[in-house]
């Protein structure tokens, strides 16, 4: 879009979503947004997450999926704004506002189009200066159900049949995209991970209450580097992560963190040294931070100073362990498991100066 077109756009429509898979209900809302204003910005949430059964497609793939469902005239009036998950409503809202303002600095008004379905769409009320166009439900279609059918098809050996069953729920162009994407290595890997998670969750089906898990993670920095592991098993097999794991019944979170650190990396320091290196502990408890379900983690931050980083070796659940320059982490966001980039960002200030806040 040219600068002249930007200046002429006095009203802009905004439509926010993850679009993992882009379906007909979302297409109806997008066309409502396109009809409401001469220009439309689609905000693509969870933009830089590592691939997972919940986030299988990159933001570029989702943008292509959406464009393919539109006419040439509609595509001409559409822009995409990728926004990362930061698990901080105020910070996320500010990022969306900044992004829209950067794309359309001359816009006099913004119309926010969306459907207030449940607590997951409460963010629509976080933009009081924008005019909210709250639409009715656009059909009984669930992105989660579509992904489940798609990945279940790998085990059944019936991708074509599964996609045929989705006719009427997603645009033909989306089904064509999914058919082609199923031939990529990522599909088989994520289908295996989806099956692992399905079996794990089935173990808790008889519980009177949904389970809440407690875990620990360690952020260990030393001489401008941070200690990461490569996960050796699903979920997140092959992704980078912080050393950590589940709290055992007899442990405090402190002792659990040190145990997991030693088991996964071989790093064990004298009690006095580890106590001197400790800087902060913080609970990360966003309901959607983990693919496993409701998982609260206690992340412990240690700074070993400017000494030579101790030798480490991946073991237990870790296929490998290594020291990574902190300066390189920002470019590795799409390789980090669950919300571990956010945890690192909180303590180390990768995208803003958050380290001082974390220590409070």
Asked, for residue 182, whether it belongs to a domain, the answer is: no
Per-residue CA distances from 335 to 10, 239, 338, 340, 349 (Å): 39, 6, 10, 10, 18
What is the strand order of the sheet 39-44 is part of? 78-82, 39-44, 11-17, 109-114, 131-134
Asked, for residue 165, whether it belongs to a domain, the answer is: no
Residue 316: per-residue pLDDT: 87
Residue 289: per-residue pLDDT: 95
Q: Of 60, 113, 56, which Cα lies nearest the Cα of 82?
A: 60
Asked, for residue 147, whether it belongs to a domain, the answer is: no
Residues 231, 350, single domain; the answer is: yes
Residues 306, 225, single domain; the answer is: yes
Q: Where would I find the H helices in the chain? A: 3-8, 24-36, 59-68, 72-76, 89-103, 143-156, 159-165, 172-181, 185-202, 253-265, 271-277, 326-329, 340-348, 355-358
Asked, for residue 57, whether it belongs to a domain, the answer is: yes
Residue 119: per-residue pLDDT: 67
What is the C-alpha R_g of the chain?
22
Asked, for residue 187, whether it belongs to a domain, the answer is: no
Residues 332, 219, single domain; the answer is: yes
For the whole model, what pTM was predicted?
0.90
Asked, for residue 200, whether it belongs to a domain, the answer is: no
pLDDT tens, N- to C-terminus, the chain (360 residues): 444 344 445 899 999 999 999 999 999 999 999 999 999 999 999 999 999 999 999 999 999 999 999 999 999 999 999 999 988 889 999 999 999 999 999 899 999 998 877 666 788 899 999 999 988 887 788 999 999 999 999 988 889 999 998 999 999 999 999 999 999 999 999 999 999 999 999 999 888 988 999 999 999 999 999 999 999 999 999 999 999 999 999 999 999 999 999 999 999 999 999 999 999 999 999 999 999 999 999 999 999 999 999 999 999 889 999 999 999 999 999 999 999 999 999 999 998 644 333 333
- Which token pair is 213? 């898990």
Residues 217, 114, single domain; the answer is: no
Residues 102, 230, single domain; the answer is: no
Whether 114 and 33 have beta carbons less than 8 Å apart is answered as no
Residue 9: per-residue pLDDT: 56
- 343 CB contacts (<8 Å, ≥6 apart)? 217, 219, 242, 284, 297, 299
What total of structural domains would you count in the chain? Answer: 2
Q: Of 190, 298, 294, 291, which Cα lies nearest the Cα of 238?
A: 190
Alpha-carbon distance of 289 to 4, in angstroms, equals 42
Decide which of 141, 169, 188 is a domain's last residue.
141
Residues 93, 219, single domain; the answer is: no
Decide which of 107, 141, 175 is a domain's last residue.
141
Whether 358 and 282 have beta carbons less than 8 Å apart is answered as yes
Residues 83, 216, single domain; the answer is: no
- CATH code of the domain in which 72 resides: 3.40.50.620
Residues 240, 129, single domain; the answer is: no
Residue 354: per-residue pLDDT: 41
Give residue 46's domain range.
Answer: 3-141
Residues 226, 353, single domain; the answer is: yes
Q: SS3 of 211, please?
A: coil
Residue 135: per-residue pLDDT: 83
Decide which of 141, 165, 196 is a domain's last residue.
141
- CATH code of the domain in which 233 resides: 3.90.79.10
Asked, for residue 50, whether it belongs to a domain, the answer is: yes
Residue 140: per-residue pLDDT: 82
Residues 107, 232, single domain; the answer is: no
Residue 237: per-residue pLDDT: 94
Count the neighbouring beta carbons within 10 Å of the beta carbon of residue 63. 21
Asked, for residue 186, whether it belongs to a domain, the answer is: no
Residues 222, 352, single domain; the answer is: yes
């Amino acid at each position: 879009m040219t600068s002249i077109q930007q200046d002429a756009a006095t009203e802009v429509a905004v439509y926010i979503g993850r679009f993992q898979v882009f379906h007909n209900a979302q297409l109806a809302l997008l066309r409502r947004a396109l009809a409401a204003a001469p220009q439309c910005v689609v905000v693509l949430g969870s933009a830089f997450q590592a691939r997972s059964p919940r986030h299988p497609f990159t933001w570029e793939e989702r943008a292509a999926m959406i464009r393919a469902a539109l006419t040439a005239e509609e595509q001409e009036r559409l822009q995409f704004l990728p926004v990362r998950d930061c698990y901080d409503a105020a910070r996320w809202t500010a990022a969306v506002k900044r992004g829209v303002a950067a794309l359309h600095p001359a816009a006099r008004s913004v119309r926010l189009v969306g459907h207030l379905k449940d607590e997951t769409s409460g963010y629509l009320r976080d933009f009081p200066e924008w005019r909210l166009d709250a639409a009715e439900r656009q059909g009984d279609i669930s992105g989660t159900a579509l992904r489940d059918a798609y990945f279940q098809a790998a085990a059944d050996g019936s991708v074509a049949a599964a996609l045929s069953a989705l006719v009427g729920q997603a645009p033909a162009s989306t089904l064509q995209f999914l058919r082609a994407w199923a031939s990529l290595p990522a599909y088989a890997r994520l289908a295996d991970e989806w099956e692992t998670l399905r079996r794990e969750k089935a173990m808790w089906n008889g519980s009177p209450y949904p389970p809440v898990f407690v875990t620990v993670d360690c952020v260990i920095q030393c001489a401008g580097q941070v200690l990461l592991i490569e996960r050796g098993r699903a979920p997140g097999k092959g992704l980078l992560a912080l050393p950590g794991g589940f709290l055992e019944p007899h442990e405090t979170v402190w002792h659990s963190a040190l145990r997991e650190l030693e088991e996964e990396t071989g790093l064990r320091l004298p009690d006095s040294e580890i106590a001197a290196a400790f800087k902060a502990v913080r609970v990360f408890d966003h309901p959607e931070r983990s693919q496993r379900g409701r998982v609260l983690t206690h992340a412990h931050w240690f700074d070993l100073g400017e000494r030579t980083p101790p030798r480490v070796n991946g073991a237990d659940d870790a296929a490998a362990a290594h020291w990574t320059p902190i300066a390189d982490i920002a470019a590795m966001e799409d390789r980090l498991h669950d919300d571990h980039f956010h945890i690192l960002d909180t303590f180390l200030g990768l995208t803003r100066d958050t380290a001082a806040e974390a220590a409070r």
